[in-house]
Copies of this chain bind each other. A is one copy, B any other.
């Protein structure tokens, strides 16, 4: 079961050469049917498994893919990783996960580490701090397979899988507007991230459509993506202390949404009586919140799967890829009572 039989063992046992055994195992045609059968049966009997490390060394491929995300313990990313693993596993790749904790330095280090591990490709979701994407550009130009998902680099022309952030944001904002909220604040991640900008655009477009003014003071960026509780708390307090206090907040990032809820609770605000809330999150328990939370949910599992499919296809492509695709998937707006206007 776990003793490693090698090709050599088989060759010796059967009085053949290693190359013959190798050929038999790989279904080569230039081999006698007899010998082939013999080898296959014996291999089966001893439960022979080729040594993947030897194969990797030979093929100059590690059969592993590197993943760069901000955090594993995050609903969106744990679901995405689930999707990544599910595909990778079936295709014979393993997955090396690294976390940036929203730091650009750690992101760079992780990428270098993954490369030194000779991963065959990279699945990347940028850190909130990242504005310099030159390392990816460099690698991509060299022909190294990279697929971005969710937090993509606008200026690297490779494969990307993203949600329809504009629409997700637009719909949620419009929902708040239709519910009767007129002073809607927007709490979002670092502006470095394209998703932040797209989500802001959706937010803004909904305001425009309904002839609501956009107040710059209503826009708050948490540049550490909610990693630093105090940063979020400060932002929320600033919103609440404004002369014309917002009557609702639309939050544009998973972790931020949760942090925001914690802070509003801590401050003793009633939702939605004191303030309405809607936000991006993939939490499976938003329904259980007090009050149940209106959310924009992304198909994280599928996004992980799609990104991995494309990455592996790129890795295994015989030809240099020229056409890089950007796949966009739809978000889902789940309406609950946190976005009802009750005052």
Contacts and interface: CB of A to CB of B under 8 A. Distances in A.
Interface of A: 1-2, 4, 49, 51-54, 56-57, 62, 64, 71-75, 78-79, 81-82, 85, 89, 94-99, 112-113, 115-118, 135, 138-139, 142, 144, 258, 261-262, 265, 283-285, 287-292
Contact of A78 (B52, B72, B115, B284): B72
A82 B89 contact: no
Contacts of A97: 85, 95, 97
B53 A57 contact: yes
Given A85-B99, A94-B64, A95-B97, A53 B118 contact: yes
Contacts of A115: 1-2, 49
A73 B62 contact: no
A214 to B, nearest CB: 29
Contact of A262 (B73, B81, B142, B288): B288
A111 to B, nearest CB: 9
A71 B79 CA distance: 10
A287 B64 CA distance: 39
A4 B116 CA distance: 8
Contact of A94 (B96, B287, B289, B290): B96
Contact of A52 (B117, B261, B285): B117
Nearest to A74: B78
Nearest to A85: B97
Given A95-B96, A258-B285, 18 more contacts: A1-B112, A49-B116, A52-B116, A57-B57, A71-B82, A72-B81, A72-B82, A73-B75, A73-B78, A78-B78, A85-B99, A89-B113, A258-B288, A262-B288, A283-B285, A285-B285, A288-B289, A288-B290
